Amino acid sequence: SGVLLGVQRLDKLWKAGRPVCHDYNLGSGDSSDLMDVAKSVVEITGSKSHIANPQSDPHFVDIYRTKLDKAREELSYRPVVSMKEGLRAYIKLVKDGKSFPGTTPAFYRDAV
Same domain, 54 and 89: yes
pLDDT, residue 48, reads: 92
Same domain, 43 and 8: no
pTM for this one? 0.62
Same domain, 109 and 75: no
Give the DSSP letter string of 56-108.
Answer: TSTT---EEE---HHHHHHH-----S-HHHHHHHHHHHHHTT---TT--HHHH
Same domain, 76 and 89: no
Same domain, 6 and 60: no
Same domain, 86 and 112: yes
Domain count within the chain: 2
pLDDT, residue 103, reads: 56
Domain that holds residue 109: 33-64+82-112
Same domain, 15 and 54: no
pLDDT, residue 79, reads: 86
User: Sign of the CA dihedral 106, 25, 3, 79?
Assistant: positive
Q: Which helix (H) or strand (E) holds 37?
A: helix 34-45
pLDDT in tens, the chain (112 residues): 566 677 778 788 888 887 777 777 777 888 778 888 889 999 999 999 998 877 777 777 777 777 888 888 888 888 888 889 888 988 888 788 776 655 555 555 555 5
Q: Measured between alpha carbons, how far is 90 from 28 in angstroms, rounded to an integer?
A: 14
Same domain, 77 and 109: no
Same domain, 14 and 59: no
pLDDT, residue 42, reads: 94
pLDDT, residue 44, reads: 94
Same domain, 57 and 12: no
Chain CA centroid to CA 80, Å? 12
Same domain, 20 and 4: yes
